[in-house]
Amino acid sequence: MNIAVCVKQIPDPAAPGRLDPNTFNLVREGKLVMDDSDSYGVEMALQLVDRAGGGEVTLISMAPNGETSGLRTALAMGAAKAVLVSDPALGGSDALSTAKVLAAAILRNPFDMVITATESTDGYTGTVPVQIAEILGLPAVSFAKKVTLDGNKAMIERQSESGYDEVACELPAVVSVTAGVVEPRYPSFKGIMAAKSKPIETLSLSDLGLSADQVGAAGAREAIVSLRKAEARQAGQIIEDDGEAFAKIIEYLEQLKVV
Amino acid sequence: MDFELSQEQESFRKVVADFAESEIRPYVAKWDEEKIFPLDVVKKMGEMGLFGLIFPEEYGGSGADFTTLCIAIEELAKVDSSVAITLSAGVGLGASPIYHFGSDEQKATWLPKLCSGEILGAFGLTEPDGGSDAGSTTTKAEKVGEDEWLINGAKAYITNSGTEITGFIVVTADTEEGVTAFLVPYGTPGLVVEPPYRKIGWHASDTHGVVLQDVRVTSDSIVGTIGKGFAQFLATLDEGRIAIAALALGLIQGCRDESVSYAQSRHAFGGPIGRYQGVSFKCADMDVDVEVVRNLVYKAAWLRDSGRPFKREAAIAKLYSSEAAMRAAKDAVQIFGGAGYMDETPVARYYRDAKILEIGEGTSEVQRVVLSRMLGL
For A24, left (φ over 0), alpha (ψ -120 to 50), or beta? Answer: left
Decide which of A233 and B177 is more confident: B177
**CB-CB neighbors (< 8 A) of A12 in chain B:** none
The nearest CA of chain A is from the CA of B157 a distance in Å of: 31
Domain ranges of chain A: 3-234
Interface residue B19 vs chain A (CB under 8 A): yes
Interface residue B68 vs chain A (CB under 8 A): yes
**CB-CB neighbors (< 8 A) of B62 in chain A:** 188-190, 193
The pLDDT tens digits for B78-131 are: 999 999 999 999 999 999 999 999 999 999 999 999 999 999 999 999 999 877
Probe site for chain A from B7, B9, B15, B55 (most A CB atoms < 10 A):
B15
Interface residue A189 vs chain B (CB under 8 A): yes
Confidence of residue B2 (pLDDT cuts 50, 70, 90): confident
Who among B11, B57, B63 is closest to A192 (CB)? B11
| Per-residue pLDDT at B248 | 98
Longest Cα–Cα distance of chain A, Å, equals: 72
Probe site for chain B from A32, A50, A186, A189 (most B CB atoms < 10 A):
A189
Kindly determine whether residue B62 and residue A189, on different chains, have CB atoms separated by under 8 Å: yes
**CB-CB neighbors (< 8 A) of A185 in chain B:** 47-48
Measuring CA to CA, which residue among B74, B78, B349, B329 is closest to residue B199? Answer: B349
Kindly determine whether residue B18 and residue A186, on different chains, have CB atoms separated by under 8 Å: yes
How far is C-alpha B141 from the geometric centre of its chain's CA atoms?
27
Kindly determine whether residue A189 and residue B47, on different chains, have CB atoms separated by under 8 Å: no
Residues B331-342 have a mean pLDDT of 97
Interface residue B58 vs chain A (CB under 8 A): no
* Domains of chain B, earliest start first: 7-120 (1.10.540.10), 121-226 (2.40.110.10), 230-374 (1.20.140.10)
Interface residue B337 vs chain A (CB under 8 A): no
Residues B337-352 have a mean pLDDT of 96
Kindly determine whether residue A189 and residue B68, on different chains, have CB atoms separated by under 8 Å: yes
CB contact set of B154 (below 8 Å; sequence gap of 6+): B127, B128, B139, B209, B210, B211, B212
Give, for all 259 residues of chain A, the pLDDT tens digit.
999 999 999 988 888 788 888 888 888 777 788 999 999 999 999 999 999 999 999 999 998 788 898 999 999 999 999 999 999 888 888 899 999 999 999 999 999 999 999 998 888 888 999 999 999 999 999 999 999 999 899 999 999 888 999 999 999 999 999 988 899 999 999 999 999 999 999 999 999 999 888 888 888 888 888 888 888 888 888 888 888 889 888 988 898 887 7
Kindly determine whether residue A186 and residue B63, on different chains, have CB atoms separated by under 8 Å: no
- Bridge partners, A177 (sequence order): A117, A144
Least confident segment among A119-128, B36-45, B131-140:
B131-140
Counted across chains A and B, CB pairs separated by less than 8 A come out at 40
Interface residue B133 vs chain A (CB under 8 A): no
**CB-CB neighbors (< 8 A) of B47 in chain A:** 185-186, 188
The answer to whether residues B102 and B110 touch, using CB atoms and an 8 Å cutoff, is yes
**CB-CB neighbors (< 8 A) of A193 in chain B:** 8, 62, 64
Interface residue A182 vs chain B (CB under 8 A): no
Q: Does B164 have pLDDT greater than 70?
A: yes
Q: Does B134 have pLDDT greater than 70?
A: no
Who among B8, B18, B19 is closest to A193 (CB)? B8
**CB-CB neighbors (< 8 A) of A188 in chain B:** 47-49, 62
Provide, rounded to the nearest whole percent, the portion of chain B with pLDDT above 90: 93
Residues B183-208 have a mean pLDDT of 98
Interface residue B11 vs chain A (CB under 8 A): yes
Kindly determine whether residue A72 and residue B11, on different chains, have CB atoms separated by under 8 Å: yes
Round the average pLDDT of chain B to a whole number and report it: 96
CB contact set of B122 (below 8 Å; sequence gap of 6+): B89, B93, B94, B158, B159, B160, B161, B166, B168, B169, B170, B210
The nearest CA of chain B is from the CA of A34 a distance in Å of: 12
Which residue in A has a C-alpha nearest to residue B55's C-alpha?
A: A190
The nearest CA of chain A is from the CA of B245 a distance in Å of: 22
ipTM of the complex: 0.88
Provide, rounded to the nearest whole percent, the portion of chain B with pLDDT above 70: 99
Question: Catalytic: B361?
Answer: yes
Rounded distance between C-alpha atoms, residue A199 and residue A178, angstroms = 28
The pLDDT tens digits for B356-370 are: 999 999 999 999 999
| Per-residue pLDDT at A230 | 85
The nearest CA of chain A is from the CA of B7 a distance in Å of: 10
Which residue in A has a C-alpha nearest to residue B63's C-alpha?
A: A190
- Residue A75's φ and ψ, nearest 5 degrees, are -65, -35
Q: In the CATH hierarchy, which top-level class contains the domain A3-234? A: alpha beta
